[in-house]
Amino acid sequence: MSGDLLERAEAWLAQDPDAETQAELRTLIDEARAGGQNAVDELHARFDSRLAFGTAGLRGEIAAGPNRMNRVLVGQAAAGLAAFLLGRESSPSVVIGYDGRKNSRVFAEDSAAILAGAGVRAVLLPRLLPTPVLAFAVRHLDASAGVMVTASHNPPNDNGYKVYLGGDDAGAQIVPPVDSEIAAHILAVADAHAFDELPKAAFETADESVVSAYIDATAALAPAPSAQPRVVYTAMHGVGWQTFAAVLEAAGFDTPTVVAEQIEPDAAFPTVSFPNPEEPGAMDLSLERAAAVGADLIIANDPDADRLAIAIPDGDGFRQLTGNEVGGLLGWRAAEVAAQAASGDEAAEGTLACSIVSSPALGAIARDYGLGYEETLTGFKWISRAGGLIFGFEEALGYLVNPATVRDKDGISAALAFLSLAAELAASGRTIADHLDAFSERFGHFASGQVSLRFSDPSERAALMTRLRDEPPAVVGTIRVERIDDLSEGFEGLPPSDTLRLHLEGGARVMVRPSGTEPKLKIYIDAHADTGTLSERRAAAEATVAELDRGMRALTA
């Protein structure tokens, strides 16, 4: 172990205010001094690089060192954000929220105290709350910025730090070059000040009125229900239930049957191996409960309630809908609302937007209704900025149904919108499954699939992307590639993105991109069929997806 590495570790230890991370770092240092190679390797992993601050803020495992999430790193981020904001305006303000993850509250309180100590008005939300409430609060309180302490659906020992901007950004998450500007301020703080040298001051705590305002604004999105579907709900050990229950009550819906084992916040996430509704097994308890009570609908939020998962009856069991299916139905609902709002011969107004890796179905809806349509890079920091937005979604279970009040994905308002749709259908004797069939009859059948490749070494992921660029495939499986768009230097008005888009014979599409939050390479497959009977359309589109899935697995093996 080099002396420099040891000095950096000791310097960090000296400023760490957290007894737990202090103790585990001291143990690592002692083991490394004694010649333990594993401890030396772990110190290199934590101190040879720094957890990068980007458009998604910070996210990582809770542990000591600059390449992990901890109180020192979060304090530096808060001080850097304060310096950035003070360089933009004379009297900035920040509202801070936090969820139920490990250290979320202490990270939020540290941030508030350090922001206040720097001369920024800091307002802490009154208790642990969903991410959408924080996004709402930025606009509702007319704050200069917002901070949400959450790692969303990451593993239990992770946490994160998301930043929103008010003013002209209308409460959306940061985009370049703001992320780099804040990052530069954070590094300047880290170079100049230890944690205990950062000034701290008393901060404000918001009262419950901000939560009540969110509940009222969200409940107003749905008309009084004409039917009451039987619903099973899970919060996935997160913070969604209390707020969602209040929204349902205000909107006139019955209280759902809950998955009791998962309804209260629990940072250990004891009933799921990975607290993400997309992961295999995460919805098992919900499916069991729904079968027991004969539910018409399963609604699941992820731990910070910015994502929504839906499952519906299917034969003797239940089928979880894909994010693309939910996005298509909610997009159709938004288009119908826009069409009904248009008077006389006026055309419907507004824009439907989705990420480039989401289903092209939303574009078909927009064309049918004469609405604007925009594809953006992945992430609601981009989707929320679409001009004239009335609805946005991304296939990873994110939906924005209320852009007038929240400029981020919102699993609570989306859940209400979907439940309202289910109630309207039930009142006329139809189901969500019937509505999916009607969608395919009107717009054609859209099928999608995804291949997710996990890498322990980031260089392997980068090497695979390089190989696909240097040796572009002529076919995927048995389907000919017509052209490939490389988005790495920007494309058709999009900012640069490490993404490849393959256009296949017959109109199918494959997207390949590294995940922004996990060590994965993601492959998104979409196909469409609009001729023949409903069953013929479904069979044709799904056969194409299956062939492209097989072909991409072979290409990336």
Q: Give catalytic residues, as residue numbers.
A: 152
Instruction: From residue 505, give the alpha-carbon distance in Å to each of 244, 471, 480, 537.
Output: 45, 19, 5, 17
Cβ burial, residue 498 (10 Å; 0-12/13-18/19+)? middle
C-alpha–C-alpha distance, residues 122 and 512, integer Å: 41
Q: Terminal CA-to-CA distance of the chain, rounded, Å?
A: 37
Beta bridge partners of 504: 481
Percent helix, strand, coil in the chain, to 5, is 40, 20, 35
User: For residue 388, what are the contacts with CB-CB under 8 A and spacing of at least 6?
Assistant: 349, 350, 351, 372
Residue in the structure block whose two tokens are 């994160």: 160
**SS (HEC) of 303-350:** CCCCCEEEEEEECCEEEECCHHHHHHHHHHHHHHHHHHHCCCCCCCCC
**Angle formed by the axes of helices 19-33 and 3-15, nearest 10°:** 160
C-alpha–C-alpha distance, residues 525 and 504, integer Å: 10
Instruction: From residue 301, give the alpha-carbon distance in Å to each of 242, 283, 312, 397.
Output: 12, 10, 15, 9
* Residue 338: HSE in the Cβ half-sphere, 13 Å Cα cutoff: 25
User: For residue 536, what are the contacts with CB-CB under 8 A and spacing of at least 6?
Assistant: 529
Do 275 and 309 touch, CB atoms closer than 8 A? no
Which amino acid is present at 280?
P
12: helix, strand or coil = helix
β-pairing, 121-124 vs 204-205, is: parallel
| Strand residues in 157-256 grouped as ranges (E) | 158-165, 172-173, 204-205, 231-234
C-alpha–C-alpha distance, residues 373 and 66, integer Å: 42
What one-character DSSP code corresponds to residue 496? P
- List the helix and strand counts (H, then E) for the chain: 17, 22
Q: In what order do the strands lie in the sheet with 398-400?
A: 372-376, 351-355, 389-394, 398-400
